[in-house]
Structure 1
Amino acid sequence: MLETVREEKAGPAVLVEILNIAQAWGTSFQWIPSHVSIEGNEIADGLAKLGLQDDAPVFHNRLFMKDAIHRFRSISEQQTTQWYQEYSTEKGKKFYDIQPAFSTKPWYTNVDLPGSDVRLINRLMTGHDFSKFWLARMKLEETEECELCDEPETADHLIMHCPRFGILRSKFDFELQFHSLQDLLKSKNMKVYREVTDFIRQAKLSL
C-alpha cells in the first residue's frame, strides 16, 4: 500500500502525509518478513526468556499514576486508623467501643433513616445526648438523678431500665435482646435502631 501511494502520489490522506514527512526527514520504510537474525529482536527475545527465570533481575521502574494514588490512599488510611486508635484512648471511648475500626463511610451511609433519627443515634453513640446526666455535667441541670430511681438519668437508664417506661418498653423487641444501650448500638442493626427511635418518640424523651 505504501509503495502504491508513493508511486501514484495519491491515496489515503494520512498515508500521503506520513510519506511526505518521511521524505522530508530522509526516513525510509522497510518491510521485514521475519525477525530472525535481527539483532534488536534477538535481544528482545533473550530478555523475555530471561524474565521467566527465577533468578531474573528485578528492574525498579517508576510508578504509574494509578499505582501511586493507590499507595497514597493505603498510607493515608493506615495513618488515619492509627490516629483514630490513639485519639480514642483519651477521648471518644464510648464511640470507639461501638466503632473500633475507622471507616471512610459513616454507619448511616445508604441507610433508610430520617436525618433527625441519624442525629439522635449519633448522640447516643457518643454519649453527648440531652439526658439529665449529660446536661448536669454541662451545668444546665441542677441534678443528674432520675426522679423515680435515685440513680443517674442517662440515656441507657431511660431507654433500657427506668420503670416509668416499662409498659411501653415491653412492646418493643429490643428490651429482651440487649442488656444495655451500648450493646444495642454495637449491634449495628437498623431494625433495632428504628425501634429505639420509635420508643424515644412515644416516650416523649428529649435525647
Structure 2
Amino acid sequence: MSQTRQIAFQWIPAHCGIPGNEKADELAKLGAEGDQPMNHISYNEKTTTIKAAMRCQSNKDDYHYLDRKEQVTIFRLRTGHKWLNAHMFKLKLAASPKCSCGRDNQTAEHLLQQCPLLEQQRRAVWPHETGIQTKLHGAMEELQKTATCIDVAGLRL
C-alpha cells in the first residue's frame, strides 16, 4: 500500500550572513508563507524528484558528441596510445619510430602538421594553417575533421 505524506515548508534561519545563502533564505521564507499545494504523490516520489534535481549536471565538451569511431581516434591521438611507429617502437613492437615519409618520427603531430605524404589531405581538410591544439582539442567540427583526415589517410590508430 502506498504511503502518502503531506509536506509543509517552513523557513528556518540558518547560514545567516553567508553570501548567496541570504537570497536562498529569503526565497525559502517567501515560499513557506504561501499556500502549499495539496499534492498527493508518495514520499518516495518526492525524495526521488528532489534527489534528481540536486544531482550534478555534467557539462559535456564537444568530444562527447562525436560518434564512437571519432571518439576513439581523438582519444588515441590525444593520449599517445596509438598504432603509430613512434609509440609502437617504444613498446618494441616496431622496427623504427620513423614515419614512412622518412623525415621524422611517426607521431600525431607529425602526421597532422608536417608529413609530406598527408599534405594534400591536410590542405583539403584545413585550407588554412591550423594548430595541433585546435585539431585535437578544438570544437566538434575541428575534431571531426581530424578524425576524417586520419580515416581517409587509411591510418590505423
Task: Please classify the TM superposition score into its range, dividing by the shorter chain length.
Answer: 0.5 to 0.7
Partner of 1:176: 128
Pick one of 106, 123, 136 that aligns with 1:185.
136
Aligned: 1:159 with 2:112: yes
What is the alpha-carbon distance in structure 2 between the residues aligned to residue 162 and residue 151 of structure 1? 8
CA 1:156–1:172 in structure 2 vs 1: closer, same or farther (change >3 Å)? same
Select the residue among 74, 92, 96 that pairs with 1:143: 96
Which of 129, 152, 155 is 1:202 aligned to?
152
5 Å-filtered alignment, 1:1-207, equals: 107=61, 108-109=63-64, 111=65, 113-173=66-126, 176-180=128-132, 182-187=133-138, 189-207=139-157
Root-mean-square deviation (Å): 3.1
Question: Does structure 1 conserve the Cα–Cα contact (< 8 Å) formed by 2:134 and 2:142?
Answer: no
Which of structures 1 and 2 has the larger relative contact order (alpha carbons within 8 angstroms, sep 6+)? Answer: 2
TM-score computed with the length of structure 1 as normaliser: 0.45
Question: What is the percent sequence identity of the aligned residues?
Answer: 25
Number of residue equivalences: 110
Which has more radius of gyration?
Answer: 1
CA distance in 2, matches of 1:135, 1:141: 5
4+ runs deviating over 6 angstroms: none
In the alignment, structure 1 segments of 5+ residues that lack a partner are 1-50, 55-65, 75-102
Q: Spell out, residue by residue over 1:102-132, the C-alpha distance to the aligned partner (whole angstroms, 9 max, x if none).
A: x9555334x1x22111111111111212111
For residues 103 and 120 of structure 2, the distance between their equivalents in structure 1, rounded to whole angstroms, comes to: 20
